Structure 1
Amino acid sequence: MRFNSHSNSDTPPSEPDETLTTPDKNSPVSLKPDFTSPLSDQILISILSNLTKSQQISSCLVCKRWLRISGGLVKSLRLLDWDFLDSGRLAHRFPNLLDVDIVQACIVSPRNSEVFRYLLKAALIYEGLSCLVQPTKGFRNLQILKLIGSVDGLYDSVISDIGLTILAQVCPRLLKLELVGCEGSYDGIKAIGQCCQMMEELTLSDHRLEGCCPTLEELHLQRCQLRDKQGLGALFLVCEAVRELVFEDCWGLDNNTFFTASICRRVMSLSLEGCSLLTMEGFDPVVVSWKELKRLKVVSCNNIKDSAMSPELATLFSLLKELKWRPDSKSILSSGLNGTGIWQKGGRSFKI
């Protein structure tokens, strides 16, 4: 077994014998008493958890009991030997892992070769990934994971919808997931969204997700980081048939990033709330381009000013079925049209 912790400490030893023996191989084996046997596991956990990393590694040599307890204290792991994962011993040896890095284990460097390196076959990686996220008590508690599907000049993506679906089903407590250069489509991301309901942070880098969502009608983005124009554009490209768009308290949604939504030509309903970076300069042309828009809600978007409204947008307002317009407390349009009934005809309802 070969692995390194994230602390770059020395490699831990393999499993020791249950008891210590005399060093003289010619003499009969004599068992030494275990003076720690009266101590409960909880007491030993408290003792070992206060040791340094190097001391914890040394403590693994005492006996199998200490090896088991110290393995349960390991939360973060960088795997170097793929065979150890493939054997299924990883989950048994380290049942409480929260952070696993398997990148280096996927890349094989033959002995006595410092130049030639190759990536394990995709089938082997899928088997290992299935083993890694098998439904054991420890891995069901996995919270942080980074999957690197490709590295330029070294290997191409091997993480697709199959791997993402397996991951989602058996790691429901994921809090942070980073996908780098992964292939797939909506199905893999959908599985993660449905199964990992505790997810706080999903990061997509070097986007290679394929496919589209022709039946997706609603896209709600709440408290999301939207500073990456390329990433948001990739999302809208997949969801270009969406009919309802909701942005609520999204950080980084400015004119440039909001413009990427113009690819969604069939939007009928738009809701903006708490998007303070967006101005009328970016809002106006995108909304006017949506010829099927029927419902609009703009609340607490302080930089969208009535004074910068184009005649085309004003005309669009008169055609909407539902309108809630309170971009800020000083909106002239909000106060000037309140109670006039100017847009309340034909059964249409407006909230100013």
Structure 2
Amino acid sequence: MSFMGKKESSPISPLKKRRASWSELWVNHHHLLSSSPLDLASKFHPPIAKSKTLLPDSSKTDLTLLLPDLTLLSIIERVPKSHRKNLSLVCKRWQRLHGRLVRSVRVSDWNFLASGRLISRFPNLDNVDLVSGCLISPPNSGILVNHRLVSFTVGVGSYQSQSFFEENLLSVEMVDRGLRTLAGGCPNLRRLVVTNTSELGLLNVAEACSRLQELELHKCCDSVLLGIGAFENLQILRLVGNVDGLFNSLVSDIGLMILAQGCKRLVKLELFGCQGGFDGVKEIAECCQMLEELTVCDHKMESGWLGGLRYCENLKTLKLVSCKKIDEDPGLGECLSSCCPALERLHLEKCQLRDKNTVKALFKMCEAAREIVIQDCWGLDNDVFSLAMAFGRVKLLYLEGCSLLTTSGLESVILHWHELEHLKVVSCKNIKDSEISPLLSALFSDLVELQWRPDTRSHLCSSLTGAGIGKKGGKFFKKT
């Protein structure tokens, strides 16, 4: 008996350890299946001490939520504008803050404005272009039509009529309602571009947006201009009347007179496709005494309108663009009697300059100009360019695309300009390096700036070796 007791109290050898029965294995297996994943994890992987872990849920926490809106807004404001749009996709809060930074939009979907989403999305707008949105784009429109004034899409085979643009414009009533919505949500509006509106639409904008300074009206007519006078701070105005291939609208002397009476503080005026005349231009000159820049583009002006410019006492810049006939009958005697005393810049682009009487009257009207720019104008040969000797104080001359002008024709004029400092000649194929005279070389050496590229074969520097070019204006000389 003592031997049996001793055998029971002794430790069991590992080699003689009892194997678990099938019933025990079954119980243990079902116990593991009933345990939760956390229990299993704690059983096989002991918990890590808290002192050795990272911040709890740091990868999932949006730390920008700790920043107030003004702080986050100032951070987003420092991001380049080209990348801000991507920031608006982060979350709704960032989208809302991004919308507060947007100042300028071009609306292509009118419903975006009419529904009020434009105002809620961008509450601080000050520059809005509605021209593209005023055009109803047909379904399946896959062709982009680009005009110098507007771009729009059309469907295949739909752009066959010259009146396509006008036929697909929103009604005047819809445009006016949209302007009322825009004005109610954007009191700080400073620039507006719109088409096919009425006097009532402009009055709604003028009443709510007292800070508006720049206005561009497409498809404008005389009756629309009745609402112009309500804009007390308007300084820049662009009127687009008749545009070939897009729409027909009339801005006559009546409209120009209405404009003159209502816009006393006007500084810059652009007339595109307008049909005024001497009386309208004179009225603008006498009433808008702060006017400094006038642009006339593709005009349908009456004969003699050019004579009205001599009443513009403070006009500094005159720009004529795409004018097939500058003035059929300028009234040469009247034009030669006086000029624009304050004019500094004359810019001619894509104009017909074949009529010597018209060019003579224009140059005499602008004889006080210090800067002359002539780009891609037809008919500018040596005889016509010789009329430029009427300018006595030219400091800058820029010629581009004047294919009829020769080296001798250029020389005969600019040698009389003793104050010339800047000369730029580009793409004038009949002006040759080989025809440059010693007198012209000496003139080049006295210039502050010379840009000489009349054609692709021009090698001015090698042709004028030893001529002393650039001695006086060397540090400003541009080699092109």
Alignment TM-score, normalising by the size of structure 1:
0.50
> Which structure's relative contact order is higher, taking Cα pairs within 8 Å and 6+ residues apart?
1
Q: Which has a greater percent of helix?
A: 2
